[in-house]
Structures are given as C-alpha cells and as structure tokens.
C-alpha cells in the first residue's frame, strides 16, 4: 500500500490543532485502558490498518493483556471485559456505525448504568476523535507501522 497524501504536510495548521484536541483526552474522565479499547474497536470497525496497528501497540505499552486484544472483536461473548468496558464498547460501536434512526434508547440506558453524564460526554469525544483519525488514515492510505519510530511504538515488541 502506498500513502496517497500526507495530511500533516498538506494541512499543517489543521493537523496541529487536531493533535492538540486529541491530546486533551489524556486528562478526560475515561481511563486510558478504555480509551485504548475504544481506539482499537473503532479502528477495527472502520478498517483502519494504520490506527489499528498504532493503538494495539499503544495498548501493549500501556500494559494491556494480549488475550483481551484478541477478544476485542468478540467482546460480547468474552468474560474478559468489565461492565464499564462493555458499556464503552457498546457506545463506541453505536456511534461508529450510527443507526439510521439514531442511538436506540435501550443502548443509551444500558450505557448510563455504567457511566456518569460527564464520562459519557468524554467518551463520546474519544469515539468521535478516533473516527475522524480513521477517516483521514483510510482516505489517504496511511501505511500501518510507518510512524512507529516517531511515536515510540517500536518499543511495543510487536513485529
């Protein structure tokens, strides 16, 4: 696969502001473990190889267990995820695949049993952001692993 264009080079001011926006989420109400799971799951759904590769490596660097990464596509059937993580994954999937008639009340109600209003709002921004990054990377065919050294992801030990 060959990258089409480099958004960072073509739109440096917009790219810089979007990175800054993304970095604000490090201090949001959603813990890093869940952010990692959300980034990976949305990237799987969107078929974004660049982001999937990046976020699996980040999750490993953050201490995520490998089996949970393997179970992420089957999180509903797996016993490896907490109710809070399941709620975050359900919200990620519904916002990533936006149903024709909006988010069903039953999903919203289920998620609200696990997350406060602030947490749900912050989670929505996390989901929104990874979906935007996915769209840039898929559209411009960013090559998986091409930024590993720049982001320190080569230290994840995944090859």
Local mean pLDDT, 10-residue blocks, the chain (159 residues): 93 97 96 98 98 97 97 98 98 98 96 98 98 98 89 83
Buried b (16+ CB within 10 A) or exposed e, 45-63: bbebbbbbbbbbbbbbbee
Residue 86 and residue 80: Cα distance in Å, rounded? Answer: 10
Instruction: Note the pLDDT of residue 148.
Output: 82
Q: Would you say domain 28-142 falls under CATH 2.40.30.270?
A: no
Helix spans in 12-158 (H): 12-24, 32-46, 49-61, 66-71, 83-96, 105-112, 117-139, 148-151
Residue 116 and residue 104: Cα distance in Å, rounded? Answer: 18
Q: Is the pTM of this model over 0.85?
A: yes
Instruction: Note the pLDDT of residue 155.
Output: 86
Q: Is 74 helix (H, G, I), strand (E, B) or coil?
A: helix
Residue 59 and residue 73: Cα distance in Å, rounded? Answer: 15
Query: Where are the chain's structural domains?
Result: 28-142
Instruction: Note the pLDDT of residue 14.
Output: 98
Instruction: Note the pLDDT of residue 145.
Output: 86
Residue 81 and residue 9: Cα distance in Å, rounded? Answer: 39
Instruction: Note the pLDDT of residue 151.
Output: 85
CA distances from 122 to 24, 29, 79, 101 (A): 10, 6, 25, 23
Alpha carbon 119 to its chain centroid, in Å, reads 16
Longest C-alpha distance within the chain, in Å? Answer: 44
Residues sharing a CB contact under 8 Å with residue 42, sequence separation 6 or more, in sequence order: 51, 92, 96, 127, 130, 131, 134
Instruction: Note the pLDDT of residue 88.
Output: 98
Q: Are the beta carbons of 97 and 47 closer than 8 angstroms?
A: no
């Amino acid at each position: 696969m060959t990258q089409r264009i480099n958004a960072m080079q073509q739109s440096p001011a917009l790219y810089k502001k979007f990175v800054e926006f993304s970095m604000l989420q490090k201090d949001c109400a959603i813990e890093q473990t869940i952010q990692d799971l959300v980034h990976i799951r949305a990237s799987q759904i969107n078929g974004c190889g660049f982001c999937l590769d990046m976020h699996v490596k980040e999750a490993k660097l953050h201490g995520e267990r490998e089996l949970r990464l393997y179970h992420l596509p089957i999180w509903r059937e797996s016993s490896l995820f907490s109710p809070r993580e399941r709620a975050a994954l359900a919200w990620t999937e519904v916002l990533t695949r936006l149903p024709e008639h909006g988010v069903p009340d039953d999903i919203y109600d289920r998620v609200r049993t696990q997350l406060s209003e602030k947490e749900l709002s912050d989670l929505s921004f996390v989901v929104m952001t990874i979906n935007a990054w996915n769209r840039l990377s898929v559209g411009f065919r960013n090559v998986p692993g091409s930024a590993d050294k720049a982001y320190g992801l080569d230290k994840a030990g995944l090859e």
